[in-house]
Amino acid sequence: MNEVPAVDDRWTELRSDFPIFGGSDGQDSNLVYLDSGASAQKPTAVIKAVSDLYAESYANIHRGVYKLSEEATRLFEGAREKVRAFLNAARREEIVFVRGATEGMNLLANTLGRQRVGQGDEILLTHLEHHANIVPWQMLCQSTGAVLKVAPINEAGEVDMEAFAALFSERTKIVSVAHVSNALGTINPVREMIALARERDVPIILDGAQAVPHLGLDMQELGCDFYVFSGHKMYGPTGIGAVYGRFELLDSLPPWQGGGDMIESVTFAKTTYAPLPMRLEAGTPDIAGAVGLGAAVDYLLGVGFAAIEEHGRHLLEYGNKVLGDIPGLRIIGTAAQKVPVFSFVLDGVHPHDVGTLLGAENIAVRTGHHCAQPVMDRLGVPATTRASLGLYNTTADLDALVEGIGKLQRFFGA
Ligand SMILES: Cc1ncc(COP(=O)(O)O)c(C=O)c1O
């Protein structure tokens, strides 16, 4: 492989936007954070947006007729508009705030799923899914008598598209697939998957939890029916995420949680429901979380997805080279299309020990099955060590990882 240049000046500077790395004076702590796939660090802009809301503009939303409530409502609905623009969704009503990707999938299983799926029907997934895109469907199958169909993957961690296409049948009622795999970093060929689903008139959901920090998105161009993601993986707060739904389909869904804010009128005899998006947002939402997510959108768009995608490709290439040169290290997941995620196993050292010893060097990685046990089973490994990178990572972080691995290999005599 050719040498990959280690040019990251812009991204080194950008680390000073994130206080966890040492504050706004740009003085780096020696934290090597390689666990953004689990949750990303937060820029000052996001932290400040949340704190400003609580300090200056906080009240409950939608119902108040006084100034503070109107201001909080304006900021909350402003965040919805930011998320709409981020996804290039056609309408603001297509954005439903939820707690995160997990709640988003549960919303869809309990609404779209209950509406469309019955005894003997089929839900098509892939072998790459996170548990959040397996278990809600499994629960639906248990209560309806439907079955899961699972498209296989190859040794590289890519979906076998011939098998995926062949798994459609007259009984396929929903397709739900990861845009990007959390365990391996594979970018699925979602355009092809969407085309196959739409040709057959089957609604298709994309689990975008791992795609949102890495890939520029355009719902109108992509043409999926639903897109689900969490804010905390895209540099926003925890406790907030969104479901995008194409208006005609989203508008056909029944409510799933009942309570305040989702109604038009209530009597003991009968309740009528509010229009979208509030019909699917019962109760007081995470107001500050939504505002923080809006700030994360502004931040990401300010950096720009063309640059983020290029940086990701560079980190991927560099990581493949420097990790690939380590004797006894095997990268698990070598798809042609990936985001900068490196799952690996080391001869003679358990992933848990890898993680613990790297942790002692202030290198944060994730070890285990990454909430994707079927992927691990398929690739024949009980667990991996996963380094998942974000926009603040540089090739220096990968060099530190390589050095840390060398040190622990010497320690274990591996
Ligand atoms: C691909 C994928 N889907 C869904 C989720 C669930 O996200 P959350 O825990 O934020 O709800 C994750 C989290 O790791 C993920 O990686």
Say yes or no to pLDDT of 220 above 70.
Answer: yes
Query: Averaged over 316-337, what is the pLDDT?
Result: 97
Whether 243 and 262 map to the same domain: the answer is yes
Q: What digits encode the pLDDT tens for the residues 42-93? A: 999 999 999 999 999 999 999 889 999 999 999 999 999 999 999 999 999 9
Q: Which residue has the higher pLDDT, 189 or 8?
A: 189
Ranges of H-type helices in 32-87: 44-56, 67-87
Residues in the chain: 414
Query: Averaged over 206-212, what is the pLDDT?
Result: 98
* Residue 295 within a domain: yes
Lowest mean pLDDT of 6-15, 66-75, 266-275, name the range. Answer: 6-15
Say yes or no to pLDDT of 181 above 90.
Answer: yes
Q: Looking at the CA of residue 182, tell me the nearest atom of ligand 1.
A: 16
What is the SS3 assignment for 375? helix
State if residue 178 touches ligand 1 by the CB under 6 angstroms criterion.
yes
Whether 270 and 182 map to the same domain: the answer is yes
Whether 109 and 159 map to the same domain: the answer is yes
State if residue 230 touches ligand 1 by the CB under 6 angstroms criterion.
yes
State if residue 210 touches ligand 1 by the CB under 6 angstroms criterion.
yes
Q: Which of 273, 302, 331 finishes a domain? A: 302
Bridge-based pairing state of the strands 204-207 and 226-230: parallel
Say yes or no to pLDDT of 134 above 60.
Answer: yes
- Side-chain-side CA neighbours of residue 112 (13 Å): 26
Average pLDDT across the chain, whole number: 95
* Residue 38 within a domain: no
* Residue 42 within a domain: no
When pLDDT is cut at 50, 70 and 90, the band that residue 28 belongs to is low
Whether 188 and 323 map to the same domain: the answer is no
Dihedral sign for Cα atoms in the order 403, 380, 314, 14: negative
Q: Looking at the CA of residue 230, tell me the nearest atom of ligand 1.
A: 10
* Residue 36 within a domain: no
Whether 253 and 351 map to the same domain: the answer is no
Lowest mean pLDDT of 211-215, 223-227, 258-262, 336-340, name the range. Answer: 258-262
**What's 384's domain CATH number?**
3.90.1150.10
State if residue 315 touches ligand 1 by the CB under 6 angstroms criterion.
no
Closest to 288 measured CA to CA, from 91, 66, 60, 64 = 60
Q: Which of 250, 278, 302 finishes a domain? A: 302
Q: Whose CA is nearest to atom 16 of ligand 1?
A: 182
Rg (CA), the chain: 22
**Residue 13: how many CB atoms within 10 A of its CB?**
10
Say yes or no to pLDDT of 180 above 80.
Answer: yes
Whether 204 and 92 map to the same domain: the answer is yes
Give the separation between CA 208 and CA 217, rounded to whole angstroms. Answer: 10
When pLDDT is cut at 50, 70 and 90, the band that residue 7 belongs to is low
From 371, 381, 396, 414, the catalytic residue? 371
Q: What pLDDT was estimated at residue 26?
A: 46
Give the separation between CA 30 and CA 63, rounded to whole angstroms. Answer: 47
φ/ψ of residue 265, rounded to 5: -150, 150
Q: What digits encode the pLDDT tens for the residues 12-26? A: 999 999 999 985 454
Q: Which domain holds residue 397?
A: 6-30+304-412
Q: What pLDDT was estimated at residue 1?
A: 45
Whether 60 and 149 map to the same domain: the answer is yes
Query: Averaged over 119-123, what is the pLDDT?
Result: 98
* Residue 43 within a domain: no
Whether 164 and 282 map to the same domain: the answer is yes
Lowest mean pLDDT of 36-40, 60-64, 180-184, 327-331, name the range. Answer: 60-64
Q: Which of 272, 302, 332 finishes a domain? A: 302
Whether 72 and 216 map to the same domain: the answer is yes
**What's 141's domain CATH number?**
3.40.640.10
Say yes or no to pLDDT of 27 above 60.
Answer: no
Q: What pLDDT was estimated at residue 262?
A: 93
Lowest mean pLDDT of 14-28, 66-80, 311-325, 400-414, name the range. Answer: 14-28
**Residue 265: how many CB atoms within 10 A of its CB?**
9
Query: Averaged over 281-286, what is the pLDDT?
Result: 97
Q: What digits encode the pLDDT tens for the residues 371-395? A: 889 999 899 998 999 999 999 999 9
Structure tokens at 353: 């020990």
Whether 263 and 338 map to the same domain: the answer is no
In angstroms, what is the span from residue 14 Cα to ligand 1's centroid?
26
* Residue 1 within a domain: no
Count structural domains, the chain: 2
Say yes or no to pLDDT of 3 above 70.
Answer: no
Q: What digits encode the pLDDT tens for the residues 286-296? A: 999 999 999 99
Q: What pLDDT was estimated at residue 84?
A: 98
Give the separation between CA 95 and CA 277, rounded to whole angstroms. Answer: 7
Whether 144 and 257 map to the same domain: the answer is yes
When pLDDT is cut at 50, 70 and 90, the band that residue 103 belongs to is very high
Q: Looking at the CA of residue 370, tell me the nearest atom of ligand 1.
A: 14
Is 371 a catalytic site residue? yes
Query: Averaged over 345-364, what is the pLDDT?
Result: 96
Closest to 106 measured CA to CA, from 76, 136, 126, 78 = 136
Q: What pLDDT was estimated at residue 150?
A: 98
Mutate to test the pocket of ligand 1, among 207, 228, 293 (most ligand atoms within 8 A of CB): 207
Whether 185 and 315 map to the same domain: the answer is no
* Residue 41 within a domain: no
* Residue 186 within a domain: yes
